[in-house]
Structure 1
Amino acid sequence: MKHQATPYLTFDGKAKEALAYYKEVFEGEVMNVQTFGDADFPTPPGYDERIMHAQFKKGALFLMVSDSFGEQSVTPGNHIALVLEFESEEEINNIYERLSKEGTVHMELQDTFWGAVYAKVQDPFGVIWDLNHTKG
């Protein structure tokens, strides 16, 4: 793995408000904001202005943020995932296989439009893992 797991916070349409709040509280920087409307991805009506992905940084503090998508509901306990960035496709394949064996797959391991191999798996203990390997 490339580095420590990164917290990924998901909100139900309030990601912009949360980012503004964190910017004020921590005096940090909001970066790489992409809305669902910006993405080359089919989105439900009314989602164009919701945040698909954004980053927040202040010193060593680094968070990723998005709004929920489609039927995904956000409740305390399922709105935080840990993101792992992998060095190789072999490494992500091995971890995905092990996690999905006893876990619940939320998104199958697949190529993405952002140039990565990605999957989302919830382990048997309720922890949600976003697995990502950026190609190239």
Structure 2
Amino acid sequence: MPLHDGLIPHLAVDGAKAAIDFYKKAFGATEVERHAAEDGERLLHAHLRINGCDLMMHDIFPEFGMTPVPPTGVTLHLEVDDADKWWQRAVEAGAEIEMPIDNQFWGARYGRLKDPFGHSWSIGSPLSS
């Protein structure tokens, strides 16, 4: 399946296989491909599609200078057709609420969650007029 044009997030995750399972359950991700590392345990590369967009990820490899520190300073935003439906599915899958979903002053239904791997996700959709 070809990649979409544009900016594609690429996450380093401590437990990429478990993250894939979570993203499937929480965000309806589909797995495009995965490639195991030589150790057969970690993933060297994985490609997911969420809400029509691509997401890449791989495991942490300390032998290449990577350290498993919690991610900070980045939020992945999902602009969806029904924010409440996507929100509920993610919370039921185990996402932690950082900012409860609510009607926001800028005209969106919006909230922010944290996944079990430390990544922040926002979910939003335009308010109906």
TM-score, normalised relative to structure 2: 0.46
